[in-house]
Amino acid sequence: MIRYLRLYGYFVTQRFKILMEYRLNFFIGVISTMFQQGVSLAAIWVVMSQIPGLNGWNMYEVWLIYGMVVLGQSIAHMFADNLWTIGWVYIRPGTFDRFMVRPINPLFHLLADRFCHDGIGHFIFGAVLVGFSLHTLGISLTLLQVLYLVSAVLTAGVIFISLNLLTASTAFFIVESIPITQIVFNVNEFARYPLTIYHPIIQFLLTWIIPFGFASYYPASYLLGRDVGLLAWIGPLVAVILLFISYRVWLFGLRHYTSTGT
């Protein structure tokens, strides 16, 4: 474990050295992602300004849910963005072979090969939005709630990474996995709003099939004092189970990987 932490630190250090060669591009990347999220937030504001509430949820409560989603996205974006491009960047041209011949875990090497700085903008935006929403709602977090919030954000990140890993693993069989990853990833759009506004089938989907609800709605409900029962606490367990399944699928695909020979 210590060896891999040191290796990852080395990879990230080298990545930032490259990014700092083009400092303007670095800051543009960070700011552009914040602007992108700002546009989406403005869309929610337009909708919520026309109605007094959304099935009992006001605008700032919805913003809290949205901020939780963005924080989860930011973790996946920073540390696992390479999963999106595994097919056309690595498998199709045959450069994935280098991960197979080096004495480290291929998945670790793939993830460490690229730290995506754009995710920093997502994280800053999400953190500010969550903090602003809690402050506006007059909610002062206890130490337990702060620890819960940190755990919820990490849980959200693991859920996003696990779903991306699960869908990206199809690249070993179809090469172009981006459409599948994109379809599943876009489901998080539903998780930006309270699950109670949806049909029970969609609520079930976002809880037990593509569990983005544990990345946003359930932890936000707990912080707001809304009773969602055990669902407020089992997010980490759901994330671990999903990560285990995703990694097993990855290993299955890895065993069936065939080099292009280029």
pLDDT of 148 above 90: yes
Count of domains for the chain: 1
Q: What is the mean pLDDT of the chain?
A: 91
Between the CA of residue 141 and those of 149, 221, 230, 238, what are the distances in Å? 9, 13, 20, 24
Rounded to a whole number of angstroms, the CA Rg of the chain reads 19
Whole-prediction pTM value?
A: 0.93
Helix (H, G, I), strand (E, B) or coil at 57: strand
What integer is the mean pLDDT of 187-200? 95
Most confident of 2-11, 15-24, 85-94, 211-220: 211-220
Does residue 68 lie in a domain region?
A: yes
Structure tokens at 242: 């999903």
Q: Is the pLDDT of residue 20 over 90?
A: no
- 41 in a domain, yes or no? yes
Report, as an integer, the average pLDDT of 12-18. Answer: 80
Please state, for a pLDDT cut of 70, what percent of the chain lies above it.
98
User: For residue 119, is it within any domain?
Assistant: yes
Residue 262 lies in a domain: no
Calculate what percentage of the chain has a pLDDT beyond 90. Answer: 69
For residue 257, what are the CA distances in angstroms to 14, 85, 202?
A: 29, 16, 35
| Span 50-77, pLDDT tens digits | 777 788 899 999 999 999 999 999 999 9
pLDDT of 146 > 90? The answer is: yes
- On the question of pLDDT at 115 being above 70, the answer is yes
pLDDT of residue 61: 96
**Spatial distance between the Cα atoms of 169 and 163, rounded to a whole number of angstroms:** 10
Indicate whether 261 belongs to any domain. Answer: no
In this structure, what DSSP letter does residue 211 have? -
Task: Give residue 196's domain range.
Answer: 2-255
Report yes or no on 216 lying in a domain: yes
Kindly state whether residue 241 falls inside one of the protein's structural domains: yes
- pLDDT bin (cut points 50, 70, 90) of residue 78 is very high
Q: Does residue 260 sit within a domain?
A: no
